[in-house]
A and B are shown apart, each in its own frame.
Chain A
Amino acid sequence: MFASLWYLLGRRLVGFSLLWWLLTNGSIDSWPAGLIMVPLAVLLSLTLRPPVPWRISLPAALAFIPFFLQQSIRGGIDVAGRAFSTPLPLDPALLEHPLSLPRGTARIFLLNTISLLPGTLSADLVEDRLVVHCLDTDALAADDLRRLEDRVAALFMLPIHRRRQ
C-alpha cells in the first residue's frame, strides 16, 4: 500500500519536473525556482486530486492518437461548416449515456474526448449517467459513444462490463 503511494507520488514528481524542464527550455538556471515550484505544484495537484493508480497501454495509445486526430479534424470541419451555413443546420438534443467505465482518470479522459469529437459535448455527469449535448439529432451518436468508451477502456487497460438496457 505504502509502496504504491510512493510510486504514485513519484510519478507526479517526475511528471511535473518534466513539464518544468520543457516549459523552461531545459535551462539549468531555472532549476532553483523549479525546485520550489515543482513540489508546490505536486502539493496543489494532490489537494485537487488524490493519487489513484492508472496505467496506459502503449499499443492502444499508438492506435488512439491517429483516431483522435482524425476525429478532431472532422469535429472542427463539421462545426465550422455549420457556423458558416444559412440557415443554421442545427437540431440539438440531449442524450443520456450510461457509463460502463469505472470512476477515475479513464472516465475524465472519456468526458474530455467526447467534447472534442464531432457534434458531441459532455454536458453533465449524474451518478453513472453521462449527459451529452449533440448538435444534430439525426446523428445521435449512441453507438459512437459506446465504441469510444471501448477505445478508452482499452487505452487504460480496463475491463468493460456493459449492462443490458
Chain B
Amino acid sequence: MDPRDILSIVFLLAAAPFFLAGTIGLLRFPDVFCRLHALTKADNLGLGLIVIALALQADTWLQSARLLLIWLLVMLSGATVAHLIARTALRAGRKPWSGRS
C-alpha cells in the first residue's frame, strides 16, 4: 500500500472520535452554551483531520487548496453561528447552567 494511503487512513481514523465526541457532547452537555462548545471545537478538529486525509489523495494542488478552503469556510460559519446562537440565548434571558447551585 502507498504510504500516502496509510497516512490518509490514520488521519481518517483520528477524525472519527472527534465527530463522535461532538455529537455525544451535544446530547450530554447540560445547556445550549456547553453544547455549542462541543459542536464547534470537536467537529472543527474532526473536519480538519478529514481535510488533511483527503488532501493527501488529491490529484492536483488546486484540489487540495479547495479542500482547505472548505475547512476555512466551515470554521468561519461555525464560529459565527455559534456566536449568534449564544447571543440570542443570552439576550432571551437564558441563564448558563452552573453545577454549583
Contact = CB atoms under 8 A, between A and B. Distances in A.
For chain B, give the interface size range.
35 or more
A90 B79 contact: no
Contact of B46 (A19, A76, A119, A133): A76
B16 to A, nearest CB: 11
Interface string A69-84: 0001101111110111
A21 to B, nearest CB: 9
A123 B83 contact: yes
B62 A25 contact: yes
Interface of B: 17-18, 21-22, 24-25, 28-31, 33-34, 36-38, 40-42, 44-46, 48, 62-63, 65-66, 69, 75-76, 79-80, 82-83, 86-87, 90-91, 96-100
A88 B28 contact: yes
Given A92-B98, A124-B90, A84 B79 contact: no
B29 A88 contact: yes
B21 A79 contact: yes
A138 B9 CA distance: 37
A121 B87 contact: no
B41 A22 contact: no
A146 B63 CA distance: 37
B75 A22 contact: no
Nearest to A131: B90
Contacts of A112: 75-76, 79-80, 83
Interface of A: 19, 22-23, 25-26, 72-73, 75-80, 82-84, 88, 90-94, 111-113, 115-116, 118-119, 121-125, 131, 133, 135
B32 to A, nearest CB: 10
26 contacts: A25-B63, A72-B44, A72-B48, A76-B18, A76-B44, A77-B45, A79-B38, A79-B42, A80-B25, A83-B21, A83-B24, A83-B29, A90-B34, A91-B99, A112-B79, A113-B79, A115-B79, A115-B83, A116-B41, A121-B86, A122-B86, A123-B33, A123-B90, A133-B36, A133-B37, A135-B37
Given A75-B45, A116-B44, A119-B37, A22 B82 contact: no
